[in-house]
Amino acid sequence: MTDIKSYSVWDAGTRWFHWINVLCVVALMAAGLVILNASSLEVSNAGKIKLKTVHTWIGYVFAINLIWRFIWAFLGNRYAKLSAVLPGGKGYFHALRRYVAAFFSGHPQQYIGHNPLGRLGVALLFLLITLQAVTGLVLAGTDLFLPPFGYWIAQWVAAPGIAPDTLVPYAPTLYDETAYQSMRAFRKPVAVIHLYNFYFLLAAVVLHVAAVIVTDLREGGSIISAMFTGRKTLSGQPVDEDSSSHD
């Protein structure tokens, strides 16, 4: 008879991060696509400023939530620790080989936390969202003179006699032309990274959702519902079980 047990895995801090991150990514992608197509949609400069401002404010929530997650890695339960989320550590590659072999043999191993292959996916997502957040904050400074870098950008490009804190977007008469062109040259590679990282992030999100669904179907464990309830229900012996994990 199958021994089914319920395990506590994702604590409240981890679940809140996950769903806030999901909402932010969806909203940022939607706003970003409109900004990218602003010319073909005949959006005015005033409209672009509003769109970019909304995009930036969502980006602040996105960035703060990401910082919170890194802090929570020191405060949360064992499955919230970076050592349990990211690849690496003693025996990791051996565990990865065993997990992949078991998966394709039709007898997948069950994990309470992230399995070794899932940890690679999580690392990729963390890398992409961190890069997107950092480049986005830089662009917020170059486009709208918003924090955290807008103050220095405004000082850089302000025309002589113009107070940097009075600068507004799309107002070339307020800018020193030479300094502004230098700033745009600095901005260009950041914007390119932000754009292409967006596409990589979109692909990674699609792969993440597909991997979760496939893993749930092949291994069980109510992976999807666990991000709502914080608990997994497993029928086998989890590889990463400890005495405090289940009721």
Q: What is the pLDDT of residue 106?
A: 82
- In a domain? residue 150: yes
- In a domain? residue 247: no
- In a domain? residue 242: no
- In a domain? residue 229: yes
- In a domain? residue 245: no
d(CA 31, CA 52): 8
CATH number at residue 14: 1.20.950.20
Phi, psi values for residue 6, rounded to 5°:
-105, 130
- Number of domains present in the structure of the chain: 1
d(CA 239, CA 201): 30
Tokens of 32: 């970003």
Q: What is the pLDDT of residue 221?
A: 64
Largest Cα–Cα distance of the chain, in whole Å?
A: 82
- In a domain? residue 241: no
Q: What is the pLDDT of residue 1?
A: 44
- In a domain? residue 106: yes
What pLDDT tens digit does each residue of the chain (247 aa) get? 457 888 999 999 999 999 999 999 999 999 999 999 998 999 999 999 999 999 999 999 999 999 999 999 999 999 999 999 999 888 999 999 999 999 888 888 889 999 999 999 999 999 999 999 999 999 999 999 999 999 999 999 999 999 999 999 999 999 999 999 999 999 999 999 999 999 999 999 999 999 999 888 877 667 889 999 999 988 878 888 774 455 5
Host H or E run for residue 233: strand 231-234
Structural domain boundaries enclosing 9: 5-234
Question: Rounded to the nearest 5 degrees, what angle is found at the Cα of 132, between the Cα atoms of 170 and 65?
Answer: 105
- In a domain? residue 73: yes
